[in-house]
């Protein structure tokens, strides 16, 4: 493959960073533009990374840093609202037996690790910058950068997230739809006894859970029916999350007492989206949340995005023919994997919204996670 090929990556989240690192490693020229000046380096509370995400992070060459920065564990506890442990289940090692089943870590720390990998790889990075598709033909794409200049690329990778402007610009009309649930998240100090994810079902919320993210940190979350965001001013966030969380026992009273700063509490609706038919138009191709999203009921959002980047990079660097057949092969390979996860993630939430008490939740989760153990 000619090293003169030039790729523009729009968006510097997990998918955008991953595809940039992999394409640079193969010798391609890569420019990355990110709309936010801080490159999302301080946003978010925590993230749960299952084995199939860790497998891609290892391929990126950052696994050792992730391992050192996060908290690995191999089981999940199911508790009653009062904190009584009802059941403990070993997690399936979806990344293979040589990786932990799960690593929790602070989301900003993961972002900083990916940022360092992009910079170390030699990509050109422009922050506080957007790019608009102007013209494309069989050989490439002309884009207008937000500073008013035009540039020509052999390929544009749209990794600009759930509200992707690039997706809309190329005529894909799919948009995220709310599922009816919402989540409160906060980063907090970790009680010494918290060494895995515990989930409480019932009480005033559908789910109350937490995940260790380091030696002294965790992130906690409470899932409820979504509410009108306009009725929830940001200054009320800590109070609202405490109100829900104080109904739970076990480690929750210690966690709840530390939910004091509304600026550290995040409130987000659950959305679903799955772009059908293809994830490209000409030489513009979608990855990650720009192509699909699902509720975090299976903790697979970041993993699927990282897998998209890995698969697309494999296909691009394995041939000189960047044509519709290649991009359709990418779509079909990913769709076979992404669709079951999106559908299962939505179904789990819908069972809770509908109050279904005899749902085969363990079976659905086992089937989905077993599928994810296979290489993407």
pLDDT in tens, 202-221: 899 999 999 999 999 999 99
268 CB contacts (<8 Å, ≥6 apart)?
A: 182, 183, 185
Per-residue confidence (pLDDT) for residue 3, from 0 to 100:
53
The answer to whether the beta carbons of residues 19 and 8 sit under 8 Å apart is no
- Strand pairing category for 131-137 and 140-145: antiparallel
257 CB contacts (<8 Å, ≥6 apart)?
A: none
DSSP, collapsed to helix, strand or coil, labels residue 142 as strand
Q: Return phi, psi of residue 346, to 5°.
A: -70, -40
Q: Which secondary-structure segment (H or E) carries 178?
A: strand 177-189
Per-residue confidence (pLDDT) for residue 160, from 0 to 100:
98
d(CA 172, CA 279) in angstroms, rounded, equals 9
DSSP, collapsed to helix, strand or coil, labels residue 143 as strand
DSSP, collapsed to helix, strand or coil, labels residue 148 as coil
d(CA 350, CA 328) in angstroms, rounded, equals 31
358 CB contacts (<8 Å, ≥6 apart)?
A: none
Low-confidence ranges of the chain (pLDDT < 70): 1-3
Q: How far is CA 84 from the centre of its chain?
A: 31
Kindly report, residue by residue over 269-281, the tens digit of the pLDDT.
999 999 999 999 9
d(CA 43, CA 65) in angstroms, rounded, equals 19
Q: Is 6-55+107-176+273-373 assigned to CATH 3.50.50.60?
A: yes
Q: Smallest Cα–Cα separation from 195: which of 92, 108, 103?
A: 103
pTM metric for this prediction: 0.96
Q: Smallest Cα–Cα separation from 82: which of 290, 204, 248?
A: 248
Q: Smallest Cα–Cα separation from 299: which of 219, 187, 233?
A: 219
Per-residue confidence (pLDDT) for residue 195, from 0 to 100:
97
For the chain, domain boundaries: 6-55+107-176+273-373
d(CA 291, CA 338) in angstroms, rounded, equals 10
DSSP, collapsed to helix, strand or coil, labels residue 208 as strand
Using alpha carbons only, give the angle 185, 245, 198 rounded to the nearest 5 degrees: 70
Q: Which long-range contacts (CB under 8 A, 24 or more apart) does 233-242 make?
A: 234/262, 234/263, 235/262, 236/262, 237/184, 237/262, 237/265, 237/266, 237/267, 238/186, 238/262, 238/264, 238/265, 240/184, 240/265, 240/267, 241/184, 241/186, 241/265
Give the neighbor-by-neighbor strand order of the sheet with 217-225: 85-90, 75-79, 197-201, 207-212, 217-225, 177-189, 265-274, 292-293
Q: Return phi, psi of residue 354, to 5°.
A: -85, -5
- Strand pairing category for 46-50 and 85-90: unpaired
d(CA 132, CA 341) in angstroms, rounded, equals 31
The answer to whether the beta carbons of residues 256 and 243 sit under 8 Å apart is no
């Amino acid at each position: 493959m000619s090293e003169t090929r030039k790729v523009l990556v729009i968006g510097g989240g997990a998918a955008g960073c991953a595809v940039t690192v992999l394409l640079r490693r193969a010798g391609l020229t890569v420019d990355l533009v990110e709309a936010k000046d801080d490159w999302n380096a301080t946003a978010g509370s925590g993230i749960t990374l299952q084995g199939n995400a860790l497998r891609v992070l290892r391929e990126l060459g950052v696994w050792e840093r992730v391992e050192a920065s996060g908290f690995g564990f191999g089981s999940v506890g199911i508790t009653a609202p009062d904190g009584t442990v009802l059941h403990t289940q070993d997690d399936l090692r979806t990344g293979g037996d040589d990786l932990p089943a799960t690593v929790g870590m602070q989301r900003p720390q993961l972002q900083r690790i990916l940022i360092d990998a992009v910079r170390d790889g030699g990509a050109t990075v422009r922050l506080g910058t957007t790019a608009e598709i102007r013209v494309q033909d069989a050989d490439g794409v002309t884009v207008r950068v937000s500073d008013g200049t035009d540039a020509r690329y052999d390929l544009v990778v749209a990794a600009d997230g759930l509200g992707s402007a690039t997706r809309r610009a190329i005529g894909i009309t799919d948009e995220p739809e709310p599922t009816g649930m919402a989540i409160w998240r906060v980063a907090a100090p970790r009680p010494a006894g918290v060494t895995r994810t515990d989930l409480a079902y019932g009480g005033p919320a559908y789910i109350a859970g937490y995940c260790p993210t380091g030696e002294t940190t965790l992130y906690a979350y409470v899932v409820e029916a979504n509410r009108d965001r306009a009725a929830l001013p940001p200054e009320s966030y800590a109070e609202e999350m405490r109100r829900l969380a104080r109904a739970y026992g076990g480690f929750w009273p210690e966690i709840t007492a530390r939910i004091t700063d509304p600026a550290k509490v995040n409130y987000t609706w659950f959305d679903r989206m799955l772009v059908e038919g293809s994830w490209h138009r000409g030489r513009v191709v979608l990855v990650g949340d720009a192509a699909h999203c699902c509720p975090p009921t299976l903790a697979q959002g970041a993993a699927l995005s990282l897998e998209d980047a890995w698969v697309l990079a494999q296909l691009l660097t394995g041939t000189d023919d960047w044509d519709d057949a290649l991009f359709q092969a990418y779509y079909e390979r990913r769709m076979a994997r992404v669709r079951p996860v999106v559908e299962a993630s939505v179904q789990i939430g819908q069972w809770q919204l509908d109050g279904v008490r005899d749902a085969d939740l363990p079976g659905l989760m086992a089937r989905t996670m077993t599928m994810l153990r296979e290489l993407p």
